Structure 1
Amino acid sequence: MDDSAKSNRPLFDLDLLRAIVMVADCGSFTTAAARLHSTQSTVSQKVRRLEEMVGHRLLERGHREVHPTDAGETLLGYARQMLALNGRMLEALSGAFVAVIIRLGVPDDFVTGKTTQALAAFNRKYPEVKLEVTSGLSRDLIASYDRGELDLALVKQRRNSREAVACRPERMVWIDSAKHPSFHLDPVPLVTFPPRGLCRDDMIQAIEAMGRNWRIAFTSSSLSAIQGAVADGMGIGLLPPRAVTAEHVLLGEKDGLRRIDDFEIAIVHRPAVDPVIGELVKALVAMLDRESRPA
């Protein structure tokens, strides 16, 4: 078939397709008409127009119920798809226009109420912005940022190890299980992030400085797994205060453990940046400042 013939082929009217789908679903022209806020004769006319258009009888009209013919079943399958696609298109176009997409990376322990509250407040101020948030280990977030997969990242790092648009100190605290403490064990069991994970080496050095033996009892890249392992007595851990739960107890200098204060929270983004990303940076910095204030 040449292009001119294809261009002259009739196009299906979604209003007609909606009518026959409703009749098939209801099994009755009368019920379908009521649901479509129309008359039975109008619905019947729409079905007849479709039948004339395709050259096949589409519905078998019985005394009590209406059933689709084989051709009707075929048409109904496509009709449902077309109506569903039309609905999805309307939903997509009726929403707010998304002018900017910001790909943001945050550590797992920042996927909390305070962070989501700050992001929600930002989104209310800039409803045209769509936030795509990725969480994970800081080392993985930085790798994603360097590959160009993130526009903006909030990461943990050793102080002054990487240039950033904003930095704030990251306090770390030693934790043990409230129900099943393990710090007294020999060797001391440690619950840590994987090798090259933040604070792992610092934990080992601190235990060795006490002259005590240690062993890695549990390793995970999941914050919730680390929290749970410590709570269940598998070993001691080192986390920021925001990640401490009621199932943990704090350890510290009174227990012979040195304070770990070599880390910071850094916010990085590219030099050529959309102004609205700068506004998001301000919102994140304000969140960090609120968190660091004494209770």
Structure 2
Amino acid sequence: MDLPLIKMMTLNKTLDPVLLRSFIAVVDTGSFTRAADSTHLTQSTVSQQVRKLESQLGCELLQRKGRYVTATLEGERVLSYARRILQLMTEAVSQTSLSAEQQIIRLGVPEDFATHAIMPTLHAFSNEFPGIRLEVKSGMCSDIWREFQNSDLDLALVKQRPGSLPGLSHWPEPLCWIDSLHSNSLDKHPVPLVSFPIGGLYRNEMAHTFDSLGRSWRLAYVSTSLSGVCCAVESGLGISLLPRRLVTANHRILDEGDGLPPVPDMEVTLHAQDKVSALSRTLAERLIQTCQRIFDRELS
């Protein structure tokens, strides 16, 4: 084993890559002055750093005689290791950054899909690929879609008008009017409505329907939470418009017999950015399979 390597292995101190860079710069340029220019340091700083490195290694690394500065025999050996050390450090930083970037998959889903609907799929995916950092955001579809358009999400499961925006796959989402099983909000004047905030799904549809019927209405309960909306209807606070698959035993479906017109289906669509990782595509395929099972059960 080379003497400089033995000495480096027996040192208790860690070699500073800054010292190694200055040493390499002096050898490559043949001058402390030119090395200072290439490293954007002062000549005295470069000289001090080389002397410190020599002190740590216990040998002279440079010959300072003549017009040019050259490496000693020990210096040539150390130079080879110094280049390899800095190269490995550069590769480590590069690979770590690349790996971290590849490991993040950002998914946006509506709240009703962020509960029990797709959680088993996400859990299984995370277990199968433990190196992936899956970041899931649930909320209103308008917010999810805005973040997707801003490229803040890799995948987005959103509800939209049928055929309005193409995606990887889509499924019909039948809607229905619901009231509490134990009350009749249609008999009240004005009719109390339970809704999501402005920009939330179905709110405009609800308002337009009652306006076209010539029925006065009011917002009795507004919430960004799906569970809050469902509970408010169950408690008799008002009528709402929701996906049929979310109807509970404490809800009563209203139809034309109650004086309310049918509502066109919505569409649940999975979108993906043009350029996503292979594992993002794998997750998208798993989500498509899961959503297909969800909506197949709804149709059966």
TM bin, normalised by shorter chain, reads: 0.5 to 0.7
* 1:249 maps to amino acid: R
Structure 2 match to 1:181: 184
Q: Which segments of 5 or more consecutive residues in structure 1 lack a partner in the other structure?
A: 1-6, 10-96
Distance 1:271 1:98, change over 3 A: closer
Instruction: Using the aligned pairs only, state the percent identity.
Output: 41
Structure 2 match to 1:210: 213
Q: Which segments of 5 or more consecutive residues in structure 2 lack a partner in the other structure?
A: 1-10, 14-99
Matched, 1:283 2:291: no
Shift of 1:263: 1.7
Matched, 1:116 2:141: no
Equivalent residue in structure 1 for 2:159, among 156, 167, 186: 156
Q: What CA distance in whole angstroms lies between the structure 1 residues aligned with 2:181 and 2:161?
A: 29
TM-score (norm 2): 0.62
Matched, 1:201 2:198: no
Aligned residues: 203
Encode CA deviations 1:248-277: one digit per residue, 9 max, x unaligned.
211122222222224211111111111111
Over 4 Å off, 4+ runs = none
* Secondary structure of the structure 1 residue equivalent to 2:248: coil
Q: What CA distance in whole angstroms lies between the structure 2 residues aligned with 1:280 and 1:259?
A: 35
Question: Does the CA contact (< 8 Å) of 2:102 and 2:277 recur in 1?
Answer: no
Encode CA deviations 1:185-206: one digit per residue, 9 max, x unaligned.
1221111111222111111222
Question: Does the CA contact (< 8 Å) of 1:191 and 1:237 recur in 2?
Answer: yes
Q: What CA distance in whole angstroms lies between the structure 1 residues aligned with 2:102 and 2:210?
A: 51
Q: What CA distance in whole angstroms lies between the structure 1 residues aligned with 2:259 and 2:223?
A: 26
Question: Does the CA contact (< 8 Å) of 1:109 and 1:242 recur in 2?
Answer: no
* Secondary structure of the structure 1 residue equivalent to 2:118: helix
TM-score (norm 1): 0.63
Question: Does the CA contact (< 8 Å) of 1:98 and 1:128 recur in 2?
Answer: no
Structure 1 match to 2:251: 248
Encode CA deviations 1:149-172: one digit per residue, 9 max, x unaligned.
211110111222223222211111
Matched, 1:168 2:179: no
Matched, 1:130 2:133: yes
Structure 1 match to 2:150: 147
* Secondary structure of the structure 1 residue equivalent to 2:186: coil
Larger Rg computed on CA atoms: 2
Q: What CA distance in whole angstroms lies between the structure 2 residues aligned with 1:137 and 1:201?
A: 14
* 2:108 maps to amino acid: G
